[in-house]
Amino acid sequence: MRTAARLVTSVAIVVVALVGVHVSAVAQEPCPCQLPDNGAGTVTMPPNCLDGYIGQLEIVDGLVAATIDIDATLFDVQNVLEIIGGGLGGTQSSFDATLRLEMSGTGALDGFTRTIHMPVSGVADWGPRVLNDALQAFPGELLALEGEILFDPDFDELRFRTGSNLGLPADGTTTLTRLGGAGTDFQVDSFFDISYEIEFVGALGSVLQDMGGTTTGRDATLEVCYSASLVDGVTWGTIKALYR
């Protein structure tokens, strides 16, 4: 993970909005996620970006002389219910989504590849944002994100879990930047630094037969186009405390 750079970016933008800390921005690459104003002067959270939240996961435990590397994409966000409240003093969302897992084996599993689409459900808290502002930067926390598949050709069971309510912290930040005048689309930059757990049982007849285990306590970053800025002397804990 490039956690430090992302935290610097997040903290810089949020502190500017809250307490006026000076930030010197560096050049940003164009972000592919642009979403419409939801009619309330903001974007419904979590954002339903076409490319989704992207990150790298892995399965380690339960394998012999091998790992399974995973390109993960959290996308197709549906059934969002965002209400006032939550632990960060802004809103709380419940939602469904799809977690695409593009797997490739290493070591003894070299040559093993699979793509699995796992339905997941989640709950997240978001910090307060000022509706209609051209720049809206706020923290987020995944309380729970989990899903499973059963009786797959390679996995009798495959489960994914993350979220602070599950003992697996998942904090991040979102920045919404208005691309024009009132009512125009927002550019969305967002990430979560997560600890996660993947449990699996290999299926009969698969190369994973007789294998199984729980990879836990691993760290990853799920991100939607996050860019860098510079700020000194601020930490994530300081920012999060402003919302508690």
Other Cβ atoms within 10 Å of 194 Cβ, number: 24
DSSP conformation letters of 157-208: EEEEEEBGGGTB-EEEEEEEEE-SSTT--EEEEEEEEEEEEEEEEEPTTSTT
d(CA 83, CA 200): 34
Q: Which tokens go with 198?
A: 């993947």
What global pTM score does this model have?
0.82
Tell me the three state secondary structure of residue 64: coil
Burial class (CB in 10 A: 0-12, 13-18, 19+), 157: middle
pLDDT tens by residue, the chain, 244 residues: 444 444 444 444 444 344 333 333 334 455 679 999 999 999 999 999 999 999 999 999 999 999 999 999 999 999 999 999 999 999 999 999 999 999 999 999 999 999 999 999 999 999 999 999 999 999 999 999 999 999 999 999 999 999 999 999 999 999 999 999 999 999 999 999 999 999 999 999 999 999 999 999 889 999 997 654 333 343 344 444 544 4
What residue segments make up the domains of the chain, in order of their start?
Answer: 29-226
The answer to whether the Cα torsion of 208, 210, 214, 219 is positive or negative is negative
Per-residue pLDDT at 238: 44
Q: Which tokens go with 109?
A: 């599993």
CA distances from 167 to 61, 80, 193 (A): 19, 24, 14
